[in-house]
């Protein structure tokens, strides 16, 4: 099998080594595509690898009929429409750690260049102007650096700033007193940080909540003569408000690596002598580019060869130890979902999934995704996968509840799924039998022992003599061989079930004849 991979932004050749090494990867590098050309080309590819230039919009995703994975060689995924990718079941991976060091070093370089006006002085010197008066800077030592966003890069910048003997004050919603103490920094609210800082650096993602986080109101509470760095994302600082704050001398310096619109179109800020800037170079080092490309390439190979990834953005990551324990149940969970949809013959309105035994002590989210995949794919087709299963369950208004239960009925672990439909409630429970694989062990109130594979017939009937024989005879006449059969009943002469596994697909005509047999209540064909 060949997987077709499009690389649409320049990636390090050394970094895509994992792709070149792997078998069956057809790599196409086309880094000059217009959005229109990409929309035409994308349909041919299983994977798309980008940096920050390519805008992977909903329109592109909708044209990516074969697209299964998008790799972002870097951290920020704001150039990818994640919602559209998730809806279409496309996994998005990034490289969260590969450029942390480079971005932190670039931030420090920008901070120092700004404080000492190095680019401006160099520019004057280049113009043969030996000017020592215009470029008097300020020291960093003993000044307070306000860090907004203390994630990977923010924390690295904070550590480096301490090395410059700065005081660091940070705000991050996840920053606790213990963590701040451990890092030897102060912490406060955004306002508290902005009020005390001599220098400010932002390291958040660009989100609804962080867009224009640094706006006119924020500048108003800052110290006069504050200097500000943005090596995170354009748009965290309101560029118009920054322009005004520099003009009014509130802000004495700004160092910008990122802009609200990239490539830059409005050069007004760069006309101000207080501003130093680079064209989004935070991650542009040989080391970072190699590292991020290796990370996403390895995830693409892993996805196509094992179905797993390390750094998914739209699928929660699962620690390796947990994965080893729950992965064997993925298939069972999916089959229980599919089994119940066939059994119910009408769509689920509510799903309750009960995990008991050892599974009750684990994070079971990935199992629920697999169960939902099985449940939904009957009605929504093969586009349903573990990436978009929750999305589609929500879209269809299905209420999904996970429960942990202590009822194991003697099994090491048991998964019981109950679905509520317009026609009533149906239940199936399954387990993994040591060395024997998956089994469905209960259907509604009946105990069974069914291998959840192949063609099954579930028949509900009245417990009367001759029913089983009539079913066998009819299937025989239809040339359908019965591989296994189990029967169960509530009480003698009451309601009973038959669970048959048959060697081939039961034709609709055969099912109709079965339904017409005396004492048969209903028949369901289940294909797993």
Ligand X SMILES: O=C(O)CCC(=O)C(=O)O
**Residue numbers 158-177 binding ligand NAI by CB under 6 A:** 171-174
Give the interface size with ligand X as a residue count (CB under 6 A): 10
Residue with smaller CB distance to ligand X, 51 or 88: 51
Which residue, 124 or 281, is less far from ligand X as judged by CB? 281
385 binds ligand X (CB under 6 A): no
Q: Is 234 in the site for ligand X (CB under 6 A)?
A: no
Q: Does 74 bind ligand X (CB under 6 A)?
A: yes
Among 68, 233, 426, 442, binds ligand NAI (CB under 6 A): 233
Count of residues that bind ligand NAI according to CB under 6 A: 31
71 binds ligand X (CB under 6 A): no
Identify what 229 binds: ligand X, ligand NAI, none; CB under 5 to 8 Å per kind. none
Nearest-approach distance from CB 430 to ligand X, in angstroms: 42
Q: CA-to-CA distance for 178 and 162, rounded, in angstroms?
A: 18
356 is a contact residue toward ligand NAI (CB under 6 A): no
Angle formed by the axes of helices 286-306 and 100-116, to 10°? 160
Q: Is 193 in the site for ligand NAI (CB under 6 A)?
A: no
Structural tokens at position 100: 């942390």
Question: What is the DSSP code (8-state) at residue 312?
Answer: B
List, as one string, the DSSP characters of 343-372: HH-S-EEEEEEEEEEGGGGS--HHHHHHHH
Question: Which one of residues 5, 15, 25, 52 is an interface residue with ligand X (CB under 6 A)?
Answer: 52
Token pair for 15: 């970094």
Identify which of 105, 104, 112, 11 has the alpha carbon closest to the alpha carbon of residue 52.
Answer: 11
The verdict on 356 binding ligand X (CB under 6 A) reads: no
DSSP line for 184-251: T-EE--HHHHHHH-SEEEE-----TTTTTSB-HHHHHHSPTTEEEEE-S-TTSB-HHHHHHHHHTTSE
Tell me how far apart the alpha carbons of residues 146 and 188 are, in angstroms, rounded to a whole number. 10
Angstrom distance (rounded) from CA 400 to CA 385:
16
Binding segment for ligand X (CB under 6 A), chosen from 12-20, 178-186, 275-283, 459-467, is 275-283
Cβ neighbours, 10 Å, residue 479: 10
* Near ligand NAI in 421-480, by CB under 6 A: none
- CA distances to 89, 253, 514 from 129, rounded to whole Å, are 59, 22, 98
Residue 72 contacts ligand NAI per CB under 6 A? no
Q: Is 463 left (phi over 0), alpha (psi -120 to 50) or beta?
A: beta
Smallest separation, CB 95 to ligand X (Å): 7
- Residue 51 binding: pick among ligand X, ligand NAI, none (C-beta 5-8 Å cut-off by kind): ligand X
In the bound state with ligand NAI, the residue whose beta carbon lies nearer, of 205 and 365, is 205
Which of 73-81, 182-190, 331-339, 398-406 is the region at the interface with ligand X (rule: CB under 6 A)? Answer: 73-81
Q: Does 284 bind ligand X (CB under 6 A)?
A: yes
Distance (Å, whole) CA 239 – CA 230: 11
Catalytic residue set:
233, 262, 280
Report the residue from 152, 162, 179, 420 that binds ligand NAI according to the rule CB under 6 A.
Answer: 152
Distance CA 233, CA 237 (A): 8
Residue nearest to ligand NAI (CB): 151
Residue nearest to ligand X (CB): 74
* Cα separations in angstroms, 488 against 418, 450, 480, 499, 514: 20, 13, 22, 9, 18
Do residues 234 and 277 make contact, with C-beta atoms less than 8 angstroms apart? no
Q: Which stretch binds ligand NAI (CB under 6 A): 128-136, 144-152, 259-267, 323-331?
A: 144-152
Give the DSSP letter of residue 333.
Answer: H
Shorter beta-carbon distance to ligand X: residue 284 or 405: 284
**Measuring CA to CA, which residue among 32, 8, 179 is closest to residue 80?**
8
Check residue 312 for interaction with ligand X (CB under 6 A). no
d(CA 231, CA 154) in angstroms, rounded, equals 10
Residue 283 touching ligand X (CB under 6 A): yes
Interface region with ligand X, contact rule CB under 6 A, candidates 108-116, 278-286, 409-417, 510-518: 278-286
Candidate residues 54, 99, 385, 388; the one interacting with ligand X per rule CB under 6 A:
99
Contact positions vs ligand NAI (CB under 6 A): 74-76, 96, 99-100, 103, 148-154, 171-174, 203-205, 209-210, 231-233, 257-258, 280, 282-283
Contact positions vs ligand X (CB under 6 A): 51-52, 74-76, 99, 280, 282-284
């Amino acid at each position: 099998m060949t997987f077709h991979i499009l690389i649409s932004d320049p990636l390090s050749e050394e970094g895509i080594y994992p792709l070149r090494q792997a078998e069956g990867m057809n790599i196409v590098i086309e880094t000059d595509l217009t959005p229109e050309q990409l929309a035409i080309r994308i349909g041919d590819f299983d994977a798309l690898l980008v940096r920050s230039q390519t805008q992977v919009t909903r329109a592109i995703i909708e044209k990516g009929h074969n697209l299964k994975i998008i790799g972002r060689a870097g951290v920020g995924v704001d150039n990818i429409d994640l919602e559209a990718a998730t809806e279409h079941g496309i996994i998005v991976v990034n490289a969260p750690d590969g450029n942390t060091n480079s971005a932190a070093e670039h931030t420090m370089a920008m901070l120092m260049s700004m404080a000492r006006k190095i680019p401006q002085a160099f520019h004057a010197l280049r113009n043969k102007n030996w000017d020592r008066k215009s470029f008097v800077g300020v020291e960093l030592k003993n000044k307070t650096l306000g860090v907004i966003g203390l994630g990977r890069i923010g924390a690295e910048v904070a550590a480096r700033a301490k090395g410059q003997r700065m005081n660091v004050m940070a705000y991050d919603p996840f920053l606790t007193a213990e963590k701040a103490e451990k890092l030897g920094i102060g912490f406060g609210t955004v306002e508290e940080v902005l009020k005390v800082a001599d220098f400010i650096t932002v390291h958040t993602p660009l989100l609804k909540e962080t867009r224009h986080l640094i706006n006119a109101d924020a500048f108003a509470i800052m110290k006069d003569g504050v200097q500000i760095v943005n090596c995170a994302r354009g748009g965290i600082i309101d560029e118009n408000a920054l322009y005004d704050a520099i003009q009014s001398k509130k802000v004495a310096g700004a160092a910008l690596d990122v802009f609200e619109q990239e490539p830059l179109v409005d050069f007004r800020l760069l006309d101000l002598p207080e501003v130093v800037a680079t064209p989004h170079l935070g991650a542009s080092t040989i080391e970072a580019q190699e590292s991020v490309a290796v990370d996403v390439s390895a995830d693409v190979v892993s996805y196509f060869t094992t179905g797993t990834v390390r750094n998914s953005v739209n699928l929660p990551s699962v620690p390796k130890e947990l994965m080893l324990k729950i992965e064997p149940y993925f298939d069972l969970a999916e089959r229980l979902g599919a089994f119940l949809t066939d059994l119910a013959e009408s769509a689920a309105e509510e799903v309750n999934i009960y995990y008991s035994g050892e599974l009750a002590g684990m994070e079971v989210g990935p199992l629920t995704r697999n169960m939902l995949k099985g449940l939904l794919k009957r009605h929504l087709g093969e586009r349903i996968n573990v990436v978009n299963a929750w999305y589609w369950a929500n879209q269809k208004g299905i209420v999904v509840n996970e429960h942990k239960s202590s009822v194991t009925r003697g099994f090491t672990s048991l998964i019981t799924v109950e679905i509520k439909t317009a026609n009533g409630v149906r239940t199936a429970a399954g387990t993994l039998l040591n060395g024997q694989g998956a089994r469905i062990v209960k259907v509604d109130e009946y105990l069974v022992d069914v291998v959840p594979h192949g063609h099954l017939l579930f028949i509900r009937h009245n417990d009367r003599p001759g029913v089983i024989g009539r079913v066998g005879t009819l299937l025989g006449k239809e040339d359908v061989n019965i591989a296994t059969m189990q029967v169960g009943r509530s009480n003698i002469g009451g309601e009973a079930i038959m669970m048959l596994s048959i060697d081939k697909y039961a034709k609709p005509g055969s099912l109709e004849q079965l339904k017409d047999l005396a004492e048969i209540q209903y028949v369901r064909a289940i294909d797993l």
